[in-house]
Amino acid sequence: MPLPTADTAAAALVALRERNPLVQSLTNVVSANFLTNALLAAGATTALVDNPREAGEFAAVADSVLVNLGTPTEEQARAFTCAVSGARGPWVLDPVAVGGLSWRTEIADRLLAHRPAAVRGNPSEIGALAGLESTSRGVDSSADPADSAQASRKLLDVTTAAAASGAVDHITGRTADDEVATVRVHGGSGYLPRITASGCALGALSAAYLAVTDPFTGLVAAHAHFATASEAAERHCSGPGTFIPAFLDALAATTPDDLRATRIDVL
């Protein structure tokens, strides 16, 4: 299997729109609405089944699962384990603020034993998850995505692909041929870090793509979809507020040809 490219991202988008996968999202309260609208716009669907009584039951029918550690509760933390244990499809970990806060760092460590198909975070979260020193003060990151490639390679012991999202996204993964590489997705908009839950929605979209393609290709396709759509949205907004609906419009309007034009290269 070759490395992910703009062409395989385009093919993944075609598959996403054809199969309209159902993602189970266990996520934070800030992102719940936006993340769902982002998935619906992009070509998937999601249900937030995050209580321990139903999380495993639903994971057995959902096409993939997202676990986002943004605002955990006791019940949700139990549901995380139920969902990843019961998942019939791939699951994605979004380790929000891991490294900066103790409880969720323990939760993340425990969840890694269940081997996520992919991990998506900001560079400091990816670094913390790989056991590196964290400099994060919370949910935002000042670390450089490029520095996280090494951390991402460490994570390949427990996952198939890891994305450090940033101005340039660095996605490190293992292909079916057991080749390991870091692929960069260029482009995007400076508005993305200026609205909340954009990273969370990207994690959810990653889970959606993983339902229709392999983890490495899926992460690259999700990041390319976000980069392309955010550039289009920036041309139709007058600030971070109007960027939000414009971005949802653009996620829906993105075509395979748009993804084919994304600038993707190998580090």
| Residues of this chain that bind its own copies (CB under 8 A) | 22, 28-34, 36-37, 40-41, 45, 47-51, 53-54, 57-58, 61-62, 70-75, 97, 101-104, 137-140, 194-197, 236-253
Minimum distance of its own copies from residue 43's CB (angstroms): 10
Our CB check for its own copies shows the closer of 29 and 267 to be: 29
Our CB check for its own copies shows the closer of 2 and 138 to be: 138
Our CB check for its own copies shows the closer of 75 and 265 to be: 75
Minimum distance of its own copies from residue 192's CB (angstroms): 11
Our CB check for its own copies shows the closer of 61 and 261 to be: 61
Tokens of 115: 């081997």
Q: What is the 3-state secondary structure (H, E, C) of the chain?
A: CCCCCHHHHHHHHHHHHHHCCEEEEECCCCCHHHHHHHHHHHCCEEECCCCCCCHHHHHCCCCEEEEECCCCCHHHHHHHHHHHHHCCCCEEEECCCECCEHHHHHHHHHHHCCCCCEEEECHHHHHHHCCCCCCCCCCCCCCCHHHHHHHHHHHCCCCCEEEECCCCEEEEEECCCCCEEEEEECCCCCCHHHCCCHHHHHHHHHHHHHCCCCHHHHHHHHHHHHHHHHHHHHCCCCCHHHHHHHHHHHHHHCCHHHHHCCCEEEC
Our CB check for its own copies shows the closer of 101 and 162 to be: 101
Minimum distance of its own copies from residue 224's CB (angstroms): 19
Query: Can you state the angle between helices 198-210 and 215-234, rounded to 10 degrees?
Result: 140
Our CB check for its own copies shows the closer of 74 and 178 to be: 74
Minimum distance of its own copies from residue 68's CB (angstroms): 12
Minimum distance of its own copies from residue 233's CB (angstroms): 8
Minimum distance of its own copies from residue 129's CB (angstroms): 17
**Using CA atoms, how far apart are residues 45 and 200, in angstroms rounded to an integer?**
15
Minimum distance of its own copies from residue 41's CB (angstroms): 5
Our CB check for its own copies shows the closer of 42 and 183 to be: 42
**Using CA atoms, how far apart are residues 127 and 132, in angstroms rounded to an integer?**
5
